[in-house]
Amino acid sequence: MEIKSIFFDIDHTLYDSSLQVESARRNAIKAMIEAGLDVDEKTALESLNSIVKKFGSNYQSHFDELLKEFDYPYDPHIIAAGIVAYHTTKIAYLVPYPDTVPTLIKLNETGYKLGIITDGIPVKQWEKLIRLGLQHFFHSVFISSDIEKEKPALEMFNLALKEMKLKPKEAMMVGDRIDKDIAGANKVGMITVQILRGKYSKNIPKSKLEEPDYVISTMKDLLDILNKYV
Amino acid sequence: MEIKSIFFDIDHTLYDSSLQVESARRNAIKAMIEAGLDVDEKTALESLNSIVKKFGSNYQSHFDELLKEFDYPYDPHIIAAGIVAYHTTKIAYLVPYPDTVPTLIKLNETGYKLGIITDGIPVKQWEKLIRLGLQHFFHSVFISSDIEKEKPALEMFNLALKEMKLKPKEAMMVGDRIDKDIAGANKVGMITVQILRGKYSKNIPKSKLEEPDYVISTMKDLLDILNKYV
């Protein structure tokens, strides 16, 4: 069956989100030390990582917690230094992988309808697409928290098929996570492609459902796979 | 009496905050229209201005309200487009007036201790100083919400005098607002300088308390005034 539509995850699929977050945290710590936090970089970074783990990544006061951790009083100068460095770095690293844009252009001109299926807060995910400069490539964007069912729940994938008027085998899902992107898309019968990027790429499938139809290491490999379906 | 210390307000004193906010709002509206908001720029901008007036500038969902105003359903793409353009512009316009840095360097090398006395949220005000690149010029930063007394309350000014161990006439306050900066500093007996910048510069003193000792139009004029006290 001919493939008509290709859906992508965002993080570790269109851009290097681990590099982004690691760099942003490291630069935040450096700036806080420059502003007066007298803790060595490695210790402070480990502490920040456990704070983010404990409070979640959308918590608003990670740096306030960090000061408490080292028995500092509330200090808006040190906190602001961390925030400015964090955001500046985060934005600087919001660039697509080198092969993302050339491949999307190629897929688009070949006639595939492109879409996004992702978890996360809708406004935040759109901010990423806009800052990545990719928002105009995607015909449809499906973000799980809109329907309160995260990947691998099949609702998101079914919604995408329904709204784009696709049979499952006319749709391909490309993502880095076998437990989320691949398992979810397999459930509804899409063609699944795992891209080996980022920290989740070494995970081993725990069930048949987590086994992708294809594994690729760069986005350009998609073009070869798609040629088999023409 | 010799002047030992000079305190500055931030907005309209060290940088053009009106130009910043106007440009940020205008660019947010342009981006929202580009993302699909079908309203003319002038109408949308007027609506955004009244929303900010109604909900306050630290409210988090101005653009959500804007969509409601024009009977649009919640649309994270349009909202994110507004947010990205707003923040990008806001950061781009966080640059000091052309004479700010040369004057601060001159004052610093002459031996004056420099400080900030400002209203606002401490972390936000520190973020401004850091992005302006001015944070290292100031020996002390006093932000009113730390003590929950906004200018022109005399508490902030007294605290600054006390912590810097100054007699009132050893301290100068430079700001754009006669009702806040000048009135407050006059109350405690500091030397007061109004700088004619921004939207508040045309206000007429309502009482003796709002009358500054000096009025200047550029920061460099401070040097001439200070020479009288040497």
Instruction: Tell me how many degrees the CA angle A141-A142-A144 measures, rounded to the nearest 5.
Output: 150
In the DSSP assignment, the letter for residue B204 is P
Closest CA to A180 of A117, A127, A115, A110: A117
Residue in chain B nearest A86 by alpha carbon: B127
Residue B126, min C-alpha distance to chain A (Å) = 6
Q: Is B189 left (phi over 0), alpha (psi -120 to 50) or beta?
A: left
pLDDT of residue A60: 86
pLDDT of residue B25: 97
Q: What is the pTM of this model?
A: 0.90
**A111-139: pLDDT as tens digits:** 999 999 999 899 999 999 999 999 999 99
DSSP class per residue in A43-65 = HHHHHHHHHHHHH-TT-S-HHHH
A-B Cβ pairs (cutoff 8 Å, strict): 55
**B45-101: pLDDT as tens digits:** 999 999 999 998 888 899 999 999 999 999 999 999 999 999 999 999 999 999 999
Using an 8 Å CB-CB cutoff, list chain B residues near A130: 80-81, 84
Among B76, B123, B143, whose Cβ lies nearest the Cβ of A79? B123
Residue B125, min C-alpha distance to chain A (Å) = 8
Please report the ipTM that was assigned to this predicted complex: 0.88
Overall average pLDDT of the B188-212 stretch: 94
**A138-158: pLDDT as tens digits:** 999 999 876 778 889 899 999
SS3 A6: strand
Q: Tell me which amino acid residue B82 is.
A: G
Overall average pLDDT of the B189-214 stretch: 94
Domains in chain B and their CATH numbers? 5-16+95-227 (3.40.50.1000), 18-92 (1.10.150.520)
Per the structure block, which two tokens stand in for B182?
């000048």
| Portion of chain B with pLDDT greater than 70, in percent | 100
In the DSSP assignment, the letter for residue B138 is -
Residues of B with CB under 8 A from a CB of A: 35, 76-77, 79-81, 83-84, 122-127, 129-131, 135, 141, 143, 146
Q: Are A113 and A142 in contact, with CB atoms under 8 Å apart?
A: no
Residue in chain B nearest A84 by alpha carbon: B127
How far apart are alpha carbons A89 and A112 in whole angstroms?
34
Overall average pLDDT of the B184-190 stretch: 97
Using an 8 Å CB-CB cutoff, list chain B residues near A35: 135
Write out chain A's pLDDT in tens, 230 residues.
899 999 999 999 999 999 999 999 999 999 999 999 999 999 999 999 999 999 988 888 999 999 999 999 999 999 999 999 999 999 999 999 999 999 999 999 999 999 999 998 999 999 999 999 999 999 999 998 767 788 898 999 999 999 999 999 999 999 999 999 999 999 999 999 999 999 898 889 999 999 999 999 999 999 999 999 98
Q: In sequence order, what are the residues at sequence separation of 6 or more whose Cβ sits closer than 8 angstroms to the Cβ of residue B91?
A: B131
A77–B135: do the CB atoms touch at under 8 Å?
A: yes
How far apart are alpha carbons A71 and A69 in whole angstroms?
6
Question: Taking the C-alpha atoms of A85, B58, A131 and B97 in order, what is their torsion angle to the nearest 10 degrees?
Answer: -60
pLDDT of residue B146: 67
Q: Are A33 and A47 in contact, with CB atoms under 8 Å apart?
A: no
How far apart are alpha carbons A73 and B102 in whole angstroms?
34
What is the pLDDT confidence band of residue B149, given thresholds at 50, 70 and 90? confident
Residues of A with CB under 8 A from a CB of B: 35, 76-77, 79-81, 83-84, 122-127, 129-131, 135, 141, 143, 146
Interface with B, mutate which of A10, A126, A144 (most B CBs under 10 A): A126
B143–A83: do the CB atoms touch at under 8 Å?
A: no
